């Protein structure tokens, strides 16, 4: 007998309250065996609508152009359009694929850079607004990627396929969905998790390798795969998936970048020598120093890393140590769990940890957590707490960058660091909830248990 589809409006208090707008919780008919065919199309349509809203959020820049500092005051900045102009993708001397993907090209991960290069070929040479046309074509590609990701997550979720709404209608899609090509990695991660659930270890690893080539922080999913497989005494499956991922990732680099090393040496030097970027934990000392009143002693700044910004080498060392710490923490979480945990919550802890440890944490990085949140059985209350912090930070970071042009209109460092800390705390909250889910599932609420018995 086919198991009924779980209706979030009957098990999640937030969704139950929100459902009153459309007549209350779902009835018995929506939990029938045909619910799959109802859930997926509805979720895909909702996801496309969210990308449409993301386009509306960028409409000022789309109509007026992406100029500085106007794009920061209106919070409509997008790497997609800005890189198109700055990298000459639309110029007469359009770079080749190797030049566009290389370290001196778009400054994006290899697969994302390659996708941008391919999309740029669709832009007519005689158009009056090439950046806008490139942005529109990119939005169509990312809408398809999001739809694929939603379908993969919904299928992987099984009876809880409506949980894919965490990906389809998350508020962060509106603000961050069209900033860069992160949704390409989101779709690949969703597909990799679906292949893992169906025990297609090799396929899962290949898809994950492609995801890492589009967004390096998704490598945390591979760490979780290996740890979960070892804990479940199926180490071979984890080794196959991780090995396939490494080979695929390295293969993409060799194909897209010149040289037998796939440009790894240059990538390492660039990362090692880079200063902490916006959103990074390692930027906090610099922000604290910038917040120090003139001619006044600030004990907090003096205490934290010597009252000054971190040197690139110091930030690199701290980031590496933090990444190693995340790997150890994830391994201990899995090994200490009373039973082998599911992959998604462990992967959520790993990816959130990698993001918090990174030297740069852009606004669009939050998208990488969405498929993992959906498959972790996260409550909407926790999702909205995290999303609220992300939305607040989204506004704050553009105002802080805009302050470099006009301090009287922008956000000072003392306020920006508060939003940054709130964002990191919210990301930690999501990781904590995922860790609790991995260590042991929450007890089923009484009304949900009664409903399950009645069924």
Cβ atoms < 10 Å from Cβ of 143: 22
pLDDT band at 85 (very low <50, low <70, confident <90, very high): confident
Task: Give the whole-angstrom CA distance, residue 141 versus residue 44.
Answer: 14
Token pair 């042991």 in the structure block, residue = 440
Burial class (CB within 10 angstroms; exposed 0-12, middle 13-18, buried 19+) of 374: buried
pLDDT band at 23 (very low <50, low <70, confident <90, very high): very low
pLDDT band at 443 (very low <50, low <70, confident <90, very high): very low
pLDDT band at 189 (very low <50, low <70, confident <90, very high): very high
Token pair 């060799």 in the structure block, residue = 254
Q: With respect to residue 3, please indicate whether it lies within any of the assigned structural domains.
A: no
How many domains are contained in the chain? Answer: 1
Give the residue numbers spanning the domain of 275.
8-18+30-454
Q: Give me 36's structure tokens.
A: 């799959």
pLDDT band at 75 (very low <50, low <70, confident <90, very high): very high
Task: Give the whole-angstrom CA distance, residue 117 versus residue 90.
Answer: 10
390: three-class secondary structure by DSSP: helix
Task: Give the whole-angstrom CA distance, residue 142 versus residue 147.
Answer: 8
What average pLDDT does range 301-320 have in this prediction? 74
What rounded mean pLDDT belongs to the chain?
86
Burial class (CB within 10 angstroms; exposed 0-12, middle 13-18, buried 19+) of 157: buried
pLDDT at 258: 77
Task: Give the whole-angstrom CA distance, residue 87 versus residue 82.
Answer: 8
- Residues with Cβ within 8 Å of 225's Cβ and at least 6 positions away in sequence, in order, are 196, 204, 205, 208, 238, 241, 242, 343, 347
* Cα–Cα distance list, 118 to 109, 223, 282 (Å): 14, 31, 35
pLDDT at 442 over 80: no
Tell me the residue length of the chain: 455
pLDDT band at 169 (very low <50, low <70, confident <90, very high): very high
Task: Give the whole-angstrom CA distance, residue 230 versus residue 239.
Answer: 9
Q: With respect to residue 1, please indicate whether it lies within any of the assigned structural domains.
A: no
pLDDT at 308: 62
Q: With respect to residue 2, please indicate whether it lies within any of the assigned structural domains.
A: no
- DSSP-derived letter for residue 196 is H
pLDDT band at 60 (very low <50, low <70, confident <90, very high): very high
* Helix (H), strand (E) at residue 360: none
Q: With respect to residue 86, please indicate whether it lies within any of the assigned structural domains.
A: yes
- Cβ proximity of 7 and 31 under 8 Å: yes
Tens of pLDDT along 277-289?
Answer: 999 999 999 898 8
First to last CA, the chain: 12
Tens of pLDDT along 192-248?
Answer: 999 999 999 999 999 999 999 999 999 999 999 999 999 998 999 999 999 999 999
* Cα–Cα distance list, 85 to 67, 94, 125, 135 (Å): 11, 11, 13, 11
pLDDT at 2: 46
Token pair 């909702």 in the structure block, residue = 46
pLDDT at 416: 95
Q: Give 118-123 contacts, CB < 8 A, sequence gap 24+.
A: 120/84, 120/89, 120/90, 120/94, 123/90
Q: With respect to residue 358, please indicate whether it lies within any of the assigned structural domains.
A: yes
pLDDT band at 147 (very low <50, low <70, confident <90, very high): very high
Taking each helix axis from N to C end, the angle separating 201-214 and 219-231, rounded to the nearest 10 degrees, works out to: 150
pLDDT at 310: 84
Q: Give me 74's structure tokens.
A: 């209106």
Task: Give the whole-angstrom CA distance, residue 323 versus residue 345.
Answer: 18
């Amino acid at each position: 007998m086919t198991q009924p589809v779980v209706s979030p409006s009957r098990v999640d208090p937030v969704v139950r309250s929100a459902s009153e707008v459309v007549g209350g919780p779902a009835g018995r008919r929506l939990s029938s065996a045909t619910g799959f065919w109802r859930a997926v199309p509805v979720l895909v349509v909702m996801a496309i609508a969210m990308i449409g809203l993301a386009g509306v959020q960028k409409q000022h820049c789309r109509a007026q152009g992406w100029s500085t500092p106007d794009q920061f005051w209106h919070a409509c900045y997008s790497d997609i359009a800005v890189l198109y102009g700055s990298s000459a993708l639309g110029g007469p001397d359009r770079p080749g694929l190797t030049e566009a993907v290389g370290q001196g090209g778009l400054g994006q991960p290899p697969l994302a850079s390659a996708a941008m290069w391919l999309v740029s070929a669709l832009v007519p040479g005689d158009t009056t607004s090439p950046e806008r046309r490139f942005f529109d074509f990119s939005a169509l590609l990312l809408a398809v990627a999001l739809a694929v990701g939603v379908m993969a997550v919904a299928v992987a979720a099984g009876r809880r396929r409506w949980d894919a709404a965490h990906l389809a209608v998350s508020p962060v899609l509106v603000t961050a969905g069209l900033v860069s090509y992160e949704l390409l990695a989101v779709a690949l991660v969703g597909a990799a998790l679906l292949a893992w659930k169906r025990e297609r270890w090799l396929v899962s690893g290949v898809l994950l390798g492609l995801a890492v080539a589009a967004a390096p922080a998704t490598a945390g999913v591979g760490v979780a795969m290996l740890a979960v497989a070892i804990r479940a005494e199926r180490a071979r499956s984890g080794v196959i998936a991780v090995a396939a991922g490494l080979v695929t990732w390295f293969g993409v680099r060799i194909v897209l970048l010149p040289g037998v090393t796939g440009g790894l040496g240059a990538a390492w030097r660039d990362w090692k020598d880079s200063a902490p970027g916006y959103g990074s934990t390692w930027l906090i000392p610099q922000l604290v120093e910038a917040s120090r009143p003139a001619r006044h002693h600030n004990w907090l700044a003096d205490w934290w890393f010597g009252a000054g910004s971190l040197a690139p080498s110091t930030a690199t060392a701290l980031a590496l140590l933090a990444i190693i710490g995340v790997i150890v923490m994830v391994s201990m979480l899995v090994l200490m769990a009373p039973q082998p945990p599911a992959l998604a919550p462990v992967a959520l802890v790993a990816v959130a940890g990698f993001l918090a440890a990174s030297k740069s944490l852009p606004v669009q990085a939050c998208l990488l957590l969405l498929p993992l949140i959906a498959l972790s059985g996260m409550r909407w209350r926790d999702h909205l707490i995290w999303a609220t912090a992300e939305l607040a930070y989204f506004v704050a970071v553009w105002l802080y960058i805009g302050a470099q042009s006009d301090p009287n209109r922008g956000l000072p460092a003392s306020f920006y660091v508060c939003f940054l800390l709130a964002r990191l705390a919210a990301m930690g909250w999501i990781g904590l909830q995922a860790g609790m889910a991995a260590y042991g599932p929450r007890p089923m609420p009484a009304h949900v248990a009664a409903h399950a018995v009645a069924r």
